[in-house]
Amino acid sequence: MAADISKNNSEEKLGFKRILPIFIIVLIDLLGLTVIIPLMPLYATKFQADAFTIGLLGATYPMFQFIGAPLLGCISDRYGRKPVLIVSQLSTFIGFLVLGFANALWILFLARLIDGISGANISTAQAAISDNTTAKTVPIVSGCSALPLGSA
């Protein structure tokens, strides 16, 4: 009887050790995005980009995030959430490096493309969180999953 109670208590508790790395990945992605958005037009004008081109550059990230989310979802269903989150985080880092060393406008577009596809890991992170929750911990996770979004 006591074993059943302790088993139920452990099932009802949320494993923050398993979910915290996922929150950190989402936070890093969103912080990177919020730092880049206000600086991108200034960076693009360095390469003589007009207003329309700056708008296209700003739309590149969400457009490729829209394309990448189902792709990363299928890959994560096949190979697991953890490898996809790790590779997407490394890809975000590569996108930031490409952006930092860009010496032409097309390289800015390439950097935003790379970061957009890898930034689609938010849907994979949400799937990983839902994999680690039970019916009793869903309200806790729903509240906590907004933390990275609110702090970015």
At 109-130, the pLDDT tens digits run: 999 999 999 888 888 888 887 7
In a domain, 5, yes or no: no
In a domain, 1, yes or no: no
Give the range of the structural domain holding residue 66, as residue numbers without chain letter.
18-151
In a domain, 100, yes or no: yes
CB-based contacts of 93, cutoff 8 Å, min separation 6: none
pTM above 0.85, yes or no: no
In a domain, 3, yes or no: no
In a domain, 38, yes or no: yes
pLDDT cut 70: percent of the chain above it? 78
* pLDDT tops 60 at residue 107: yes
The count of structural domains within the chain is 1
In a domain, 7, yes or no: no
CATH assignment of the domain containing 98 = 1.20.1250.20
In a domain, 10, yes or no: no
